[in-house]
């Protein structure tokens, strides 16, 4: 085999390898899986791993192995939204309390965006030492009144920003036992208009060019 043919085969392999990892994955149920998100080793970028559940649809897997349903993806903005955990009304505990809440690996390409307003529910008085809005005017009171969950206990709210870790939402028995989140909430808006979810953003993949 001549060196020219070997060169052509080598170039073809490189082009195929690059293109095969730059394509979107097949749909998961009714939801598209845009690049760079990846549901298997043959599509997308493996650093942007998500999970396709054939029954419930796309899911994001936390650092603790908890699956959260993906309810929206905006590939142009490099963002996706996951459903907050279920809250047991009788005990006011989030379904992920046993692992301390939602957590992303520190070295992950994903992080929690600054457009999330977090409500912490059923809190102990120790939380009053933190820089959160735990006053009677906190919007967490509106949530309690509307949803009928965790009413009568101490609650707090805060906007996710750079001053608070963007890789986790923490709950614990000694602090707050439940939480929920809204994306891009507007001041003065009613509970009926709140967009419940946890918005995650991802770093765009490094170009090969």
Pair of tokens at residue 98:
């046993």
CA–CA distance, 203 with 166 (Å, rounded to integer)? 13
DSSP result, 9-53 = HHHHHHHHHHHHTSSPEEEETTEEE-TT-BSSTTSS-GGGB-EEE
Domain of residue 58 covers 3-202
Separation of alpha carbons 162 and 113, rounded Å = 9
Domain for residue 207, yes or no?
no
Say what the pLDDT of residue 2 is: 52
Q: What is the DSSP letter of 173?
A: T
The reported pLDDT for the residue numbered 133 is: 92
Please answer whether residues 59 and 71 qualify as being in contact, where contact means their C-beta atoms are separated by less than 8 angstroms. Answer: no
- The pLDDT assigned to 18 comes to 45
In this predicted structure, what is the pLDDT of residue 207? 66
Place of tokens 């009053």: 128
pLDDT mean by block of 10 residues, the chain; 209 residues: 44 42 84 96 95 95 97 96 94 96 95 95 85 90 86 90 78 94 92 96 79
The verdict on residue 208 lying in a domain is no
Tell me, yes or no, whether 76 lies in a domain: yes
Total domains, the chain: 1
**Residue 71: in which H helix or E strand, if any?**
strand 67-74
- Is 209 part of a structural domain of the chain? no
Residue 92 lies in a domain: yes
The verdict on residue 102 lying in a domain is yes
Task: Report which of 6, 54, 3, 10 is spatially closest to residue 28, judged by C-alpha positions.
Answer: 54
List C-alpha distances in Å: 209 to 18, 20, 160, 205: 11, 16, 35, 12
Q: Is residue 108 part of a domain?
A: yes
Give the predicted TM-score (pTM) of the model: 0.86
142 inside domain: yes
């Amino acid at each position: 085999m001549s060196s020219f043919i070997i060169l052509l085969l080598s170039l073809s392999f490189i082009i195929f390898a690059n293109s095969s990892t730059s394509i979107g994955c097949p749909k998961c149920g009714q939801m598209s899986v845009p690049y760079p998100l990846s549901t298997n080793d043959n599509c997308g970028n493996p650093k942007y791993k998500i999970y396709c559940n054939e029954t419930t649809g796309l899911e994001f897997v936390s650092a603790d192995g908890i699956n959260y349903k993906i309810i929206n993806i905006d590939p142009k903005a490099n963002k996706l939204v996951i459903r907050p955990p279920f809250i047991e009304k009788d005990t006011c505990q989030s379904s992920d309390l046993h692992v301390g809440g939602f957590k992303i690996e520190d070295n992950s390409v994903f992080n929690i965006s600054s457009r999330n307003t977090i409500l912490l529910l059923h809190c102990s008085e120790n939380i009053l030492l933190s820089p959160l809005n735990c006053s009677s005017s906190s919007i967490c009171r509106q949530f309690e009144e509307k949803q009928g969950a965790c009413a009568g206990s101490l609650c707090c709210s805060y906007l996710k920003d750079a001053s608070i870790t963007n890789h986790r939402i923490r709950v614990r028995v000694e602090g707050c036992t439940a939480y929920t989140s809204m994306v891009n909430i507007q001041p003065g808006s009613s509970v009926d208009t709140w967009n419940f979810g946890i918005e995650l953003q991802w770093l765009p993949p490094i170009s090969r060019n």
